Amino acid sequence: MTTPGFHRHRPVIARNGGPVPVRVAVRLRPFLDKDQQEKGSTVRGLGERALEICNWRNEQESLKYEFDAFYDEDTSQDKIFKSSVQNLLEHTLHGQNASVFAYGPTGAGKTHTMVGTSEDPGIIPRSVYGVLNAVAKERGSEDGEWTYTIGISYLEIYQEKVYDLLETKNHDLQIREDRDRNIFIPGLSEKTITDFQQFEKHFVPASQNRTTASTKLNSRSSRSHSILLLKVVKTQQVPPYRQLTGKLYLIDLAGSEDNRKTGNQGIRLKESGAINTSLFVLGQVVDALNSGQARIPYRDSKLTRLLQDSVGGTSHACMIVNLAPEESFYTDTYTTLNFAAKSKQIVNRPFTRESMVRPREVLKRPADSVTDAVSKRVRIEDPCTPTTPAVVQTPAKPPAPFLSPLLRRQDKFETSMVDRLEKLETAILARMRRESVLTTANRASVCGTPGQSREVLLQKLEDSRKQLRELKEQQEQQKAAVDTSKENEPPMSMNLTSDVLFKHSTSFIRRKKAADSKKPKAVVSPVRAGPLKPLNLDQESPDVQFVRIIKPKDTVQTKKEEVKWQLESNPELQEKHAAGVLEVLNSGKLKKLTSLQCVGDKRARLILGWWQMNGPFKQVEDLKTIPGLPSKTVDNIIKGNLLCFGLTS
């Protein structure tokens, strides 16, 4: 697993393209309520690109908008993907960035557009499937010239904090910018995928970690912005060894909310405030770009910080605006269309991110030696340059006891040297063959006069062969010295006595037997398995009692008694501790909830929000009904806090 935030910097070659405007498409969802459908829709399509809504200032007039595409309530997910998103995938395979994000009020169908269902998948699964298919086709047509690596990262922005959805962490992730002004997140996990099944394996559980809740306008409202990053690295395996890095951002924005309609209170109200604030900053960024201001407020919100490349940056961008046809959504529809009209004026300037990587043969360098005395320095000149030949400086022979550990490193170095000298000899012979067919004038222009060129090449060929012979002789001498030192080395039995050797070789076994015979093992049985001992009210019993059970002695007196420990539970104290946990859950205070084991700030807010919406908890197991808390997490919370209350009581 690799971490996108920590990488070795390589110089990036930017191939600038022409300015590309942001593509804006509008999608109208169908009615959800038949009663509202009888009143009619507030949005009417005027073709494949235009629409109109009634003017709230004058009912006799209408406001017309024109975008790159308009999709009515009968448009399928497949048509939206093919007409607005599919052409962006090609840029990702050629080292450019692309972004697709859904914008609109709450309950307008943004998550359905981006994620969809298993029967009707949305843009995210279709885009990943399209990239995988495109990579498979290019692999088959390029005969192994390029290699491809595809990785995914998934995050959410919840109340201005960035959380990793693939690998849940309890802390906020920071946003950074490298020297090339690329935005990255240190510590954000990245999973490598090769097929769509691997993508589903990571994406489906991660989607369940996203924060959602119920409001009056949406039974499953997204309380955070989510961003799926698909990274494609394309590496060339032949000269000039280019590497292209393209990224595809698939963004599902949380919807703007009117708290007078949603009825948000408590934690829901705080979530709504964070969502509306980030979307307000996004509107300020769009206004600043359109008006040509010197400062663009990207840093005022973490959402706009991550969208810096998508809005007015260096990527191909497509905004899918989702609208609701009901009359109760008219104000949200009006403001959303005005924002979309301003976003259509934004112009991005994408470029190709290309870097040069060194081939694997060059990266295989010899290991560092232990001392400077055993290091070797080799300098091989170009065959065309009439300078001194390659020189190999051989150090003095090390002592025999230290020769064996250094031999492996020297063998690697000398093997690479032999390979390089053989390549040099091949290059010299090839050059001589080329010069034999060239004209006299051409030979003179390549490397001096023909006689001088041939003399230099023959001299280098002779030197390289001489170096090969010397290296092979050195290897044979070193191996012979090692074999001689091993034969002359005295055996271990002459240096160590039999008692010391036996003691060192069996110390682990002796310690293990002593531990087995002296330390009794604790045999823990299930809490509800078998009869429970009655509670002695005269003395204060702990939550867990250890009862010593001694088996009757056998007839043979030499056999030691076997001791076992059995774990039993006190049911009354278990109920007492559960009541203590339940009291904290129903306290309604965030500080008390965070004092529980395995409950951080985010989980405490989920618990508090459920308590405010549904009333007090009747039992500790009611935590399993809270959306966003997996059953395994709830089990850890219950076990950890019952044990914690048992230790503190």
Cis peptide before 240 (omega within 30 of 0): yes
Place of tokens 């600038």: 16
> What is the DSSP code (8-state) at residue 82?
I
> What is the DSSP code (8-state) at residue 426?
H
Q: Is 106 annotated as a binding residue?
A: yes
Q: Is 187 annotated as a binding residue?
A: no
Q: Is 491 annotated as a binding residue?
A: no
- Axis-axis angle for helices 498-505, 507-518 (nearest 10): 50
Question: Residue 245: phi, psi to the nearest 5?
Answer: -125, 115
Place of tokens 């300098």: 379
Q: Is 64 annotated as a binding residue?
A: no
Q: How many CB atoms lie within 10 A of CB 49?
A: 14
Q: How many CB atoms lie within 10 A of CB 335?
A: 13
Whether the CB-CB separation of 237 and 144 falls below 8 Å is answered with yes
List, in sequence order, the alpha helices (H) in 93-176: 110-114, 123-141
Distance of CA 614 to the CA centre of its chain: 36
What does the alpha-carbon distance between residue 353 and residue 333 come to, in Å, rounded to a whole number?
38
Q: Is 108 annotated as a binding residue?
A: yes
Q: Is 110 annotated as a binding residue?
A: yes
Whether the CB-CB separation of 290 and 300 falls below 8 Å is answered with no
Question: Residue 180: phi, psi to the nearest 5?
Answer: -90, 10
Question: How many Å from the N-terminal Cα to the C-terminal Cα in the chain?
Answer: 44
β-strand partners of 252 = 102, 226
Q: Is 640 annotated as a binding residue?
A: no
Distance of CA 79 to the CA centre of its chain: 30
**Is the dihedral angle over the CA atoms 36, 38, 42, 47 positive or is it negative?**
positive
Task: Spell 255-280 as b/e; 16+ CB within 10 A means b.
Answer: bbbbeebbebeebbeebbebbbebbe
What does the alpha-carbon distance between residue 468 and residue 481 come to, in Å, rounded to a whole number?
20
What residues form the annotated binding site for ATP?
104-111
What residues form the annotated binding site?
104-111
